[in-house]
Amino acid sequence: MGDNAASAGLPIAITMGDPAGIGPEIVVKAFLQAPELTRGCFVVGDLGTLRRAAAALAVPGGVSLPVALIARADEVAGLPPNCLPLLQAIDVPQGVVVGQVGAAAGKAAGDSVVWAARAALAGQVAAIVTAPLHKESLSAAGFPFPGHTELLQAEAAAHLRRPLSEVPVRMMLANDELRTVLVSIHMSLRQAIDAVHAEGVLDTLRIAHRALGAALGRTPRIGVAGLNPHAGEGGLFGSEEREIIAPAIAAARAEGIEAHGPYAPDTVFMRARATPDKAGEFDVVIAMYHDQGLIPVKYLGVDKGVNVTLGLPLVRTSPDHGTAFDIAGTGRADAASLIEAIRMARSLAPGALRGA
């Protein structure tokens, strides 16, 4: 969508993340470092928290970033450039200690995500970009979810009036070189192995096929990792490939999905990696569990990684890192992954408001 269509677009909501972590700082840095990209975006969170972050990052004699309070998402289009729009959608957090787990911080972070999700589901924003929250703080605040993905799934299911089982979602981690989609997300490794079943693998293939097909404008080439070393080595190291994963791939191919595998997990990611010299053999790799898929993407560079939730009736992206309590409040946090998440959200939500 061109810039002349800005008046017809919807803003992008960026949640501030855990106020005890680096979320507020990297949000401010994103607006300072990428003003053209963040034009048409606003932050959901706490005014005082963002103003303190902006003040802490201010350089004497340098560019200042005023935080402008808005009451509605549609006010973003009328704001002047070079400011950070903030919608106070939550109660003012009390007793937050920077760098420490706490219920107050978890409630502020969780409430910001809930507001943004509901705004997206109601068609008030084009996409949401979520700064990092801390899972322990979220739990301490009473949210019964291990992370963003499950919270957003629950909000979508409630909006659609469907049970969770009918709103399957998957996590995709992506950077310029590699994409991976996970069969299971936040659970123990023992539980993740039990979660490898034909229906789950097939659902993952379907979700990746639809999402990547829409983003790429063509049928995506999907490589599938095995669960066991050497993809089971013909059953010597496990039977899941032969009894579960291969039948799911066959069923997907019968539906027109270009799925291949299962391949040895220690080589399939290298085969899919795109470099300046050559394209990858696959557009995405389906990983059987969380760390199997995330380690290779993060090894290539956390600063460029983006987390995308697939299967939701909304666009959601997030930086590929956590709250970094150890450096919170020091000014050292890198906003590169958040900036990439905003860029990804724009590419997935062509109806997003853009700067004039």
Report whether 333 contacts 22 (CB < 8 A).
Answer: yes
7-11, 18-22, 123-127, 288-292: range with lowest mean pLDDT: 7-11
CA distance 252 to 274: 24
pLDDT given for residue 242 in this prediction = 95
DSSP class of 153: H
What band does 3 get if pLDDT is binned at 50, 70 and 90?
very low
- Determine if residue 262 is left, alpha or beta; phi over 0 gives left, psi from -120 to 50 gives alpha, anything else beta: beta
Q: Mean of the pLDDT values across residues 222-235?
A: 91
> Which residue carries 């909000």 as its tokens?
155
CATH 3.40.718.10 domain span(s) along the chain: 1-168+304-356, 176-300
Phi-psi region at 45: left, alpha or beta (left = phi > 0; alpha = psi -120 to 50): left
* Distance of alpha carbon 268 from alpha carbon 270, whole angstroms: 5
How confident is the model at residue 61, as a pLDDT? Answer: 63
pLDDT at 71: 96
HSE at residue 152, side-chain half, CA atoms within 13 A, is 30
Q: Provide the pLDDT for residue 30.
A: 96
Give residue 333's pLDDT: 94
| Options 3.30.70.20, 3.40.50.720, 3.40.50.300, 3.40.718.10; CATH of 1-168+304-356 | 3.40.718.10
pLDDT (tens digit, 9 = 90+) per residue, 62-102? 667 899 999 999 999 999 888 999 999 999 999 999 999 99
pLDDT digits (tens, 9 = 90+) for 274-316: 988 889 999 999 999 999 999 999 888 767 789 999 999 999 9
Confidence of residue 236 (pLDDT cuts 50, 70, 90): confident
What's the pLDDT tens digit per position in 243-281? 999 999 999 999 999 999 999 999 999 999 998 888 999
CA distances in angstroms from 90 to 44, 95, 131, 149, 182, listed in the order given:
8, 15, 16, 20, 32
The model's confidence at residue 356, banded by pLDDT at 50, 70 and 90, is: very low
The residue ranking higher by pLDDT, 1 or 106, is 106
pLDDT over threshold 80, residue 143: yes
- Whether 353 has a pLDDT exceeding 90, the answer reads no
What separation, in Å, do the N-terminal and C-terminal C-alpha atoms of the chain show?
Answer: 12
> What pLDDT does 62 receive?
63
Architecture of domain 176-300: 3-Layer(aba) Sandwich (3.40)
> What's this model's pTM, rounded to 2 decimal places?
0.86
Task: Identify the bridge partners of residue 15 per DSSP, sorted by sequence position.
Answer: 44, 130
| Alpha-carbon torsion (136, 137, 142, 147), positive or negative | negative
Over residues 106-119, the pLDDT tens digits come to: 999 999 999 999 99
